[in-house]
């Protein structure tokens, strides 16, 4: 298993690490039993995500996909951020090893979870807009709380 140079770059120098104390939306996905947790913070002005930060517990790919996902939505409108797919995160990183694809799914879900929280805070039901957040993308029951 080898990571691309882009993955290693985002792992070695992760962008947008940290917290936004006055965030407009915070989303967290994953769980410690499976070995990865991602937490995303967004700051929204008008319809634009003006800032985005993350905190991640996980492998190299989990950190790199978190970093790339924040880069991809920063400065974008909410509508654009909602369209962010795990595939786009993977492509931006020049690919991921097959066993690490779930990290990119987690990154997509973490962004959606933050947007979902943003809508909830606005008093808007997020589900019709954001959809259901999957906390775990493990194909077959890995025994974690989300699978069982």
Partner 1 sequence: MQIYADNAATTALSPKVLEAMTPYLTEIYGNPSSLYRIGSAAKVAVEESRQTIANLIGAKNANEIYFTSGGSEADNWAIKGVCRMLKAKGKNHIITSKFEHHAVLHTCEALTKEGFEVTYLDVYEDGLVRPEDVKNAIRENTALVTIMYANNEIGTIQPIAEIGKICREAGVLFHTDAVQAMCNVPINVEQECIDLMSLTAHKFHGPKGCGALYVRRGVRIQNLIDGGAQERSRRAGTENVAGIVGLAKAMELGISTMEERNTRLTKMRDRLIEGLLNIERSRLNGSQTHRLPGNVNMCFEGIEGESLLLRLDLAGVSASSGSACTSGSLDPSHVLLALGLPHEIAHGSLRLSFSDDNTEEDIDYLLEVVPKIVEYLRSFSPLWDKIISE
Report the distance separating Cα 119 and Cα 125, nearest Å. Answer: 7
Site stretch for partner 1 (CB under 8 A), options 44-52, 57-65, 87-95, 124-132: 57-65
Of these, 24, 25, 51, 56, which contacts partner 1 (CB under 8 A)?
Answer: 56
Does 34 qualify as catalytic in the annotation? Answer: yes
Which residues make Cβ contacts (< 8 Å) with residue 145, sequence separation at least 6?
Answer: 31, 33
Closer to partner 1 by Cβ: residue 78 or 104: 104
Site for partner 1 in 79-98 (CB under 8 A): none
What is the SS3 assignment for 52? strand
Q: How far apart are CA 5 and CA 28, in angstroms?
A: 27
By DSSP bridging, strand 48-57 and strand 25-31 are unpaired
Alpha-carbon distance 44 to 106, whole Å? 22
Give yes or no for residue 124 binding partner 1 (CB under 8 A).
no
Give the span between the Cα atoms of 13 and 26, in whole angstroms.
23
Which region among 29-37, 43-51, 83-91, 127-135 touches partner 1 (by CB under 8 A)? 29-37
Is 52 catalytic? The answer is no
What residues between 60 and 79 interact with partner 1 by CB under 8 A? 60-63
Among 38, 42, 81, 106, binds partner 1 (CB under 8 A): 38
Q: Alpha-carbon distance 126 to 131, whole Å? A: 7
Residue 41 contacts partner 1 per CB under 8 A: no
CB 89 within 8 A of CB 7: no
Minimum Å gap between C-beta 141 and partner 1 is 10
Q: Does 39 bind partner 1 (CB under 8 A)?
A: yes
The residue ranges that bind partner 1 (CB under 8 A) are: 1, 8, 11-12, 14, 17-18, 28, 32-39, 54-63, 99-100, 138, 142, 144
């Amino acid at each position: 298993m080898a990571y691309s140079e882009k993955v290693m770059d985002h792992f070695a120098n992760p962008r947008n690490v940290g917290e936004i104390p006055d965030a407009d939306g915070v989303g967290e996905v994953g769980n410690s039993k499976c070995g990865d947790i991602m937490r995303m913070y967004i700051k929204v002005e008008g319809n634009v995500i003006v800032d985005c930060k993350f905190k991640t517990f996980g492998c190299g790919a989990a950190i790199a996909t978190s970093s790339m996902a924040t880069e991809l939505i920063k400065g974008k409108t909410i509508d654009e951020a909602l369209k962010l797919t795990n595939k786009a995160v993977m492509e931006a990183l020049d690919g991921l090893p097959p066993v690490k694809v779930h990290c990119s799914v987690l990154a997509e879900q973490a962004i959606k979870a933050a947007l979902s929280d943003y809508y909830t805070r606005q008093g808007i039901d997020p589900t019709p807009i954001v959809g259901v957040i999957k906390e775990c993308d493990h194909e077959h029951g890995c025994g974690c709380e989300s699978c069982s």
